């Protein structure tokens, strides 16, 4: 009976260690900056890993008062590009912890 308890304690220590590693990995990811870009870097959107926008840069050459739809499209393109980069890196970074777990 005691032998089973030792295994359980060892397993709990492993789980706690993994939880700490996951928290550290998520914190590191959250601090990282991701830059999404539209065509030819006409618009750049800068996000942190926790999906908070820090900056947006718009090349003045594309600002056309007669065609605001084009500018909107470039902004959407840059934002979506940054969010895709965050998602990809999140999967790569956190996936090693969630691989094989139910629901992931």
**pLDDT tens digits for range 27-81:** 999 999 999 999 999 999 999 999 999 999 999 999 999 999 999 999 999 999 9
**101 found inside a domain:** no
φ, ψ dihedrals at 52, nearest 5° = -105, 125
**34 found inside a domain:** yes
Cα angle value 42/45/47 (rounded, 5°): 165
Judged by phi (left if over 0) then psi (alpha if -120 to 50, else beta), residue 102 lies in beta
Identify the domain containing residue 61 by its residue range: 2-95
**88 found inside a domain:** yes
**100 found inside a domain:** no
Query: Distance between CA atoms of 54 and 42, rounded to whole angstroms?
Result: 17
Model confidence, pTM: 0.76
Write the CATH number for 61.
Answer: 3.30.1310.10
Please, where are the H alpha helices in the chain?
A: 2-31, 68-98
Total domains present in the chain: 1
In this prediction, residue 97 has a pLDDT band, given cuts at 50, 70 and 90, of confident
């Amino acid at each position: 009976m005691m032998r089973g308890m030792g295994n359980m304690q060892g397993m709990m220590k492993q789980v706690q260690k993994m939880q700490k590693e996951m928290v550290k990995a998520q914190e590191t990811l959250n601090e990282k900056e991701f830059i999404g870009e539209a065509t030819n870097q006409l618009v750049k959107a800068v996000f942190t890993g926790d999906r908070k926008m820090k900056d947006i840069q718009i090349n003045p050459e594309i600002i056309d008062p007669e065609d605001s739809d084009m500018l909107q499209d470039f902004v959407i393109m840059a934002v979506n590009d940054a969010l895709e980069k965050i998602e990809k890196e999140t999967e790569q970074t956190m996936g090693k912890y969630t691989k094989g777990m139910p629901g992931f």
